């Protein structure tokens, strides 16, 4: 009685298999990362997004423009404002990223992207894919780097979340086989796992981190998580100086709360969905998701964003102007270091550390705290002071 439905589901499944096999082949084509130092000009695209996105992104863009002013004038850096990555425009075009926006994005080298609203089942919005997820896939941004640092508690974590596979690879292409049976798919490829594992281990090696933890649930999700674990183990053999340990995602989530154990963790490598969930938890220790930036790195492109969403509730309650810009400012610092502006990146992080610790300028998300613009100005003033004192030292 189900024959027709099974045939229809199989047809969808076959299409997914073909797409994923092709994707795995394509990964092999691009071997090397862009070397920004060899480019005549680096183009930085800025997309405000929607919800609180434009408010917090503009503070980060201002800081970047200040820090890169000399090189903009010398023609070595160009900023491009990219409009149209809003939920309204995406719904009007019925595309996660409208074609004209994508065309502009592809002309850039790196992108600073504000949060964008993601429709979910039952909210009345059309079922379009998240713009983040679509951008990560379209630009093949396979590594999502999410640092969490609380020096006074000995926490120095860097998460290497695989960013194009796992439960996300075909997350909006699951199959409702019948009214009563729905199936989603999890994808792990050899190429996709090798490149994230390699990046995590190289990062550990280059930054003198002595431990990499492979996080998965290979005891239950045996095929895809099993493959992820096995490949990471293989790569780990090339780094004998680094201790590798293995944790199931559930106990790892618990151990992040264990004050005695959690300082052992340094670098984590993990599949997409686990990385999504645990990095929100980790950011909470540092002061909340509003304080956490992330880098989405690929071989040709890179995109920098907050780890959180567009906070439609804040907008609805008229509180957008009190949103915390720290996540986007941290993302901007990661962008700077990614394109080789190390000193500027360090100074921005320094300014943020000072401003975030200052009790007189607290961001609360409400009118009892300071506004996003006031905080942005505070960071800018602090940065000017740091930059000037650097100059005096020379």
Q: Name the residues that contact Mg ion, by CB under 5 A.
A: 276
* Contact pick of 132, 193, 286, 327 for ligand IPM (by CB under 6 A): 132
Give the 3-state secondary structure of the chain: CCHHHHHHHHHHHHHHHHHHHHHHHHHCCCCCCCCHHHCCCEEEEEECCCCCHHHHHHHHHHHHHHHCHHHHHCCCEEEEECCCCCHHHHHHHCCCCCHHHHHHHHCCCEEEECCCCCCCCCCCCCCCCCHHHHHHHHCCCCEEEEEEEEHHHCEEEEEEEECCCECCCCCCCCEEEECCEEECCCECCHHHHHHHHHHHHHHHHHCCCCEEEEEECCCCCCCHHHHHHHHHHHHHCCCCCCEEEEEEHHHHHHHCCCCCCHHHCCEEEECHHHHHHHHHHHHHHCCCHHHCEEEEECCCCEEEEECCCCCHHHHHCCCHHHCCCHHHHHHHHHHHHHCCCHHHHHHHHHHHHHHHHCHHHCCCCCCCCCCHHHHHHHHHHHHHHHHHHHHHHC
Cα–Cα distances (Å) from 240 to 158, 214, 228, in that order, read: 20, 15, 19
130 binds ligand IPM (CB under 6 A): yes
292 binds ligand IPM (CB under 6 A): no
Cα–Cα distances (Å) from 165 to 130, 134, 160, 213, 387, in that order, read: 14, 12, 13, 19, 41
Choose between 104 and 276: whose C-beta lies nearer to Mg ion. Answer: 276
Beta carbon of residue 100, minimum distance to ligand IPM (angstroms, whole number):
22
Choose between 12 and 253: whose C-beta lies nearer to Mg ion. Answer: 253
Choose between 134 and 379: whose C-beta lies nearer to ligand IPM. Answer: 134
* Contact pick of 307, 311, 328, 339 for ligand IPM (by CB under 6 A): 307
Beta carbon of residue 280, minimum distance to ligand IPM (angstroms, whole number):
7
Beta carbon of residue 131, minimum distance to ligand IPM (angstroms, whole number):
8
**Candidates 129-137, 196-204, 229-237, 381-389; binding stretch for ligand IPM (CB under 6 A):** 129-137
50 binds ligand IPM (CB under 6 A): no
Beta carbon of residue 389, minimum distance to Mg ion (angstroms, whole number):
37
Window 151-180: contact mask with ligand IPM (x via CB under 6 A): ------------------------------
Choose between 50 and 344: whose C-beta lies nearer to ligand IPM. Answer: 50
Choose between 116 and 236: whose C-beta lies nearer to ligand IPM. Answer: 116
129 binds ligand IPM (CB under 6 A): no
Report the distance separating Cα 246 and Cα 212, nearest Å: 9
337 binds ligand IPM (CB under 6 A): no
Beta carbon of residue 110, minimum distance to ligand IPM (angstroms, whole number):
17
**Contacting ligand IPM within 226-285 (CB under 6 A):** 276
Choose between 213 and 327: whose C-beta lies nearer to ligand IPM. Answer: 327
Report the distance separating Cα 120 and Cα 143, nearest Å: 24
Beta carbon of residue 125, minimum distance to ligand IPM (angstroms, whole number):
14
Could you tell which of Mg ion, ligand IPM, none binds residue 133, using a CB distance below 5 to 8 A set by kind? ligand IPM
Residue 132, Cβ neighbours under 10 Å: how many?
24
Choose between 68 and 323: whose C-beta lies nearer to ligand IPM. Answer: 323
Could you tell which of Mg ion, ligand IPM, none binds residue 130, using a CB distance below 5 to 8 A set by kind? ligand IPM
Choose between 132 and 213: whose C-beta lies nearer to Mg ion. Answer: 132
**Candidates 125-133, 199-207, 220-228, 243-251; binding stretch for ligand IPM (CB under 6 A):** 125-133
Choose between 129 and 276: whose C-beta lies nearer to Mg ion. Answer: 276
Beta carbon of residue 172, minimum distance to ligand IPM (angstroms, whole number):
10
| C-alpha torsion 370→375→381→383, nearest 10 | 150
Residue numbers at the binding site for ligand IPM (CB under 6 A): 118, 130, 132-133, 276, 307, 309
């Amino acid at each position: 009685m189900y024959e027709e439905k099974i045939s229809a589901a199989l047809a969808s499944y076959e299409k997914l298999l073909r797409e994923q096999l092709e994707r795995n082949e394509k990964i092999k084509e691009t071997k090397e990362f862009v070397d920004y130092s060899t480019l005549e000009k680096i183009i930085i695209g800025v997309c405000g997004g929607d919800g609180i996105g434009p408010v917090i992104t503009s503070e980060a863009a201002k800081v970047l423009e200040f820090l890169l002013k000399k090189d903009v004038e010398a023609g070595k850096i160009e900023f491009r404002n990219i409009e149209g990555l809003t939920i309204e425009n995406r719904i009007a075009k019925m595309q996660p990223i409208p074609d004209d926006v994508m065309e502009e994005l592809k002309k850039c080298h790196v992108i600073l992207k504000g949060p964008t609203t993601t429709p979910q089942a039952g909210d009345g919005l059309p079922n379009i894919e998240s713009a983040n997820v679509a951008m990560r896939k379209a630009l093949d941004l396979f590594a999502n780097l999410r640092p969490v640092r609380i020096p006074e508690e000995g926490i120095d974590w860097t998460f290497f979340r695989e960013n194009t596979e796992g439960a996300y690879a075909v997350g909006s292409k699951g199959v409702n086989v019948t009214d009563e049976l729905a199936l989603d798919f999890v994808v792990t490829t050899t190429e996709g796992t090798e490149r994230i594992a390699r990046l995590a281990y190289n990062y550990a090696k280059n930054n003198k981190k002595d431990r990499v933890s492979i996080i998965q649930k290979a005891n239950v999700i045996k095929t895809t998580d099993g493959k992820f674990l096995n490949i990471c183990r293989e790569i780990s053999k090339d780094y004998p100086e680094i201790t590798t340990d293995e944790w199931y995602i559930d106990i790892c989530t618990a151990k992040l709360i264990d004050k005695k154990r959690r300082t052992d963790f340094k670098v984590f490598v993990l599949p997409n969905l686990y990385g999504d969930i645990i990095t929100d938890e980790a950011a909470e220790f540092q002061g909340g998701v509003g304080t956490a930036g992330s880098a989405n790195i690929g071989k040709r492109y890179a995109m920098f964003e907050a780890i959180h969403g567009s906070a439609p509730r804040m907008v609805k309650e008229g509180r957008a102007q009190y949103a915390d810009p720290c996540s986007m400012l941290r993302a901007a610092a990661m962008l700077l270091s990614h394109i080789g502006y190390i000193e500027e990146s360090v100074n921005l992080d320094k300014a943020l550390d000072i401003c975030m610790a200052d009790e007189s300028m607290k961001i609360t998300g409400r009118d009892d705290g300071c506004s996003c613009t006031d905080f942005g100005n505070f960071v800018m003033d602090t940065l000017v002071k740091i930059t000037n004192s650097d100059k005096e030292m020379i």
